[in-house]
A and B are shown apart, each in its own frame.
Chain A
Amino acid sequence: MKIRSSEITPEHVYQTRPNRRAFLKTALAAAGAAGLAACSAPQATPAPVGSAPSGAGMTDELGDAVNRFEDITNYVNYYEFSTDKQAVAGLTGDFKTDPWTIEVTGLVNNPKTYGLEDIRAAFTSEERIYRLRCVEAWSMVVPWEGFSLSEILKQVEPTSDARYVKFTTVLRPDEMPGLSNPLYPWPYTEGLRLDEAMHPLATIATGLYGQDLLPQNGAPIRLVVPWKYGLKSIKSIVKIELVAEQPTTLWNTTAPQEYGFYGNVNPEVNHPRWSQATERRIGEISRRATLKFNGYESEVAELYAGMDLAANY
Chain B
Amino acid sequence: MTTPTIAAAAPRRPSSKHRLELAVHLGALIPVAVFFVDQWLGRASPDLIRDLTLRTGFAALIFLLLSLSVTPVVSLSGLGVLNPLRRWLGIYAFVYALIHLSIFVALDYGLDPALLADALLQKPYALAGLGAFMILLPLAATSTDAFQRRMKRNWKRLHRAVYLAAALVIVHFVWLVKPGVLDPWWYAGVLAVLLLLRVRPIRRWIASWHRRSA
Q: Please report A residues at the B interface, Cβ cutoff 8 Å.
A: 67-68, 70-71, 74-75, 79, 83, 85-86, 138, 181, 183-184, 254-255, 258, 270, 272-273, 275, 277-278, 280, 282-283, 285-287
Contact = CB atoms under 8 A, between A and B. Distances in A.
Contacts of A181: 180, 182
Contacts of B178: 83, 255, 258, 273
Interface of B: 43, 45-50, 107-110, 114-115, 118-119, 122-125, 175-183
B137 to A, nearest CB: 25
Contacts of B182: 83, 181, 183
A273 B118 contact: no
A280 B46 contact: no
Contacts of B109: 287
B124 A280 contact: no
A75 B125 CA distance: 24
A272 B122 contact: yes
B67 to A, nearest CB: 26
A138 B118 contact: no
Given A68-B46, A138-B47, A272-B123, A83 B118 contact: no
A184 B183 CA distance: 15
Contact of A270 (B45, B50, B118, B176): B118
- Helix, strand, loop or mixed for chain A's interface? loop
B50 A280 contact: yes
Contacts of B47: 75, 138, 280, 282
A263 to B, nearest CB: 14
A273 B46 contact: no
Contacts of A85: 45
Nearest to A278: B115
Contacts of A83: 177-178, 181-183
A138 B175 contact: no
B118 A285 contact: no
Given A183-B179, A277-B115, A277-B118, A285 B45 contact: no
A272 B177 CA distance: 11
Given A83-B181, A275-B119, 12 more contacts: A67-B46, A68-B46, A71-B46, A138-B50, A181-B182, A183-B179, A258-B179, A272-B175, A283-B46, A285-B107, A286-B110, A287-B108
Of A67, A86, A275, A278, which is in contact with the most chain B CB atoms at under 10 Å from its CB?
A: A275
Contacts of A67: 46
A75 B181 CA distance: 17
A258 B180 CA distance: 13
Contacts of B108: 287
B114 A277 contact: yes
Contacts of A79: 180
Of A70, A75, A255, A273, which is in contact with the most chain B CB atoms at under 10 Å from its CB?
A: A273
A254 B48 contact: no
Contact of A275 (B43, B115, B183): B115
B183 A86 contact: no
A70 B42 CA distance: 10
Contact of A255 (B45, B48, B125, B179): B179
A138 B43 CA distance: 19
Nearest to A276: B118
A183 B50 CA distance: 25
Nearest to A281: B47
Given A272-B124, A280-B49, A285-B48, A86 B179 contact: no
A83 B125 CA distance: 19
A104 B212 CA distance: 70
A19 to B, nearest CB: 15
7 contacts: A75-B45, A83-B183, A272-B123, A272-B175, A275-B118, A275-B123, A278-B115
Nearest to B122: A270
Contacts of A286: 110
A273 B123 contact: yes
Nearest to B176: A273
Contact of B180 (A184, A273, A278, A282): A184
A228 B50 CA distance: 22
Nearest to B48: A285
A278 B112 CA distance: 11
A34 to B, nearest CB: 36
A285 B49 contact: yes
Contacts of B183: 83
A86 B45 contact: yes
Contacts of A275: 115, 118-119, 122-123
A273 B125 contact: yes
